[in-house]
Amino acid sequence: MSGVRQWTMEGAEFSSTYRMEGMYSVMVVMAAAAGCSCSALPVRVSPHASHEERLQAAHNLLSESPLIDGHNDLAWNVRMFLHNKLHSFNLSSDLTREKPWMNSPFSHTDLPRLRKGQVAAQVSLPIFTQPWLDRAVV
């Protein structure tokens, strides 16, 4: 079973072709990896803990164990909006206040938010490394 998904944003057209079998395989692998990583990092917080106590426990965990983000749209949006011309972009800016980023339904990440969330690394692979996707999309 395969399908095509298309959408437009700020005058740019995006399309991707995928096979559901490949997507299911990736989801199974990701679920297994998430299960392994979650079981290795127990966090004990009282069920009666306040929001601040829970937030502090999360910050403590993130300071001891690096969070590696396997997907966020910052790299993709830099490519789409700036055509990879980083010299014309302030990496420290809050993108919730900058056009076209603020109008994009796919722009939920900027460096200030990544730092606040204590993301240690972000991995972004070229789309053609995914065997179920059509290389023509790249």
Contacts of 94 (CB under 8 A, 6+ apart): 110, 112
Q: Tell me the pTM.
A: 0.52
Average pLDDT, the chain: 73
- Above 60 in pLDDT, residue 6? no
Specify the pLDDT at position 79: 85
Q: What is the mean pLDDT of residues 130-135?
A: 58
Q: Which of the residue ranges 12-16, 41-45, 78-82, 126-130 would you say has the lowest mean pLDDT?
A: 12-16
Q: Which is nearest to 76 in space by CA: 113, 127, 120, 118?
A: 127
- Above 70 in pLDDT, residue 2? no
Please state the φ and ψ torsions of residue 5, each to the nearest 5 degrees.
-120, 130
CB 112 within 8 A of CB 59: no
Q: Any idea which residue has 């055509």 for tokens? A: 83
Any idea where the domains of the chain sit in the sequence?
Answer: 2-137
Q: What's the chain's length in residues? A: 138
Joined together, the tokens standing for residue 103 give 């109008």
CB 41 within 8 A of CB 65: yes
Q: Which of the residue ranges 33-37, 45-49, 55-59, 96-100 would you say has the lowest mean pLDDT?
A: 33-37
What percentage of the chain has pLDDT greater than the value 70? 59
